[in-house]
Amino acid sequence: MIQFKEDACGVTFAVRIVPRASRSEIAGEHDGALRIRVAAPPVEGAANRELVRLLARQFKVAQSSIEIISGIASKNKIVRIAGVRIDQLSRT
């Protein structure tokens, strides 16, 4: 089960990214993290940019409200979506 944490800044959760996939998509859950496949390679931040684009489109928020808090160079990341609540994310 994916663990979402809500605070005054927004909602924070773990992401497990799989780069160089055939297409970008949310693929379910992996060890308590949201598993996401991205078509971009993990070179010069391309996979991170694609992750932000995918999450913004999925949760219907601006790309600027999504921040990778930790794990910039890792497959395991902590992501924060600012200005939303957990119940808003669950409706999308």
Task: For the domain made up of 4-90, give the CATH fold.
Answer: Conserved Hypothetical Protein Mth637; Chain: A; (3.30.1200)
55-59 long-range contacts, Cβ below 8 Å, gap at least 24? 55/79, 55/81, 58/26, 58/92, 59/84, 59/89, 59/92
Element (H, E) at 11: strand 10-18
Tally Cβ neighbours within 10 Å of residue 82.
Answer: 15
- Which residues have a Cβ under 8 Å from the Cβ of 40 and sit 6 or more positions away? 19, 20, 24, 46, 47, 49, 50
What tens-digit pLDDT sequence spans the chain (92 residues)? 888 999 999 999 999 999 999 999 999 998 999 999 999 999 999 999 999 999 999 999 999 999 999 999 999 999 999 989 888 777 66
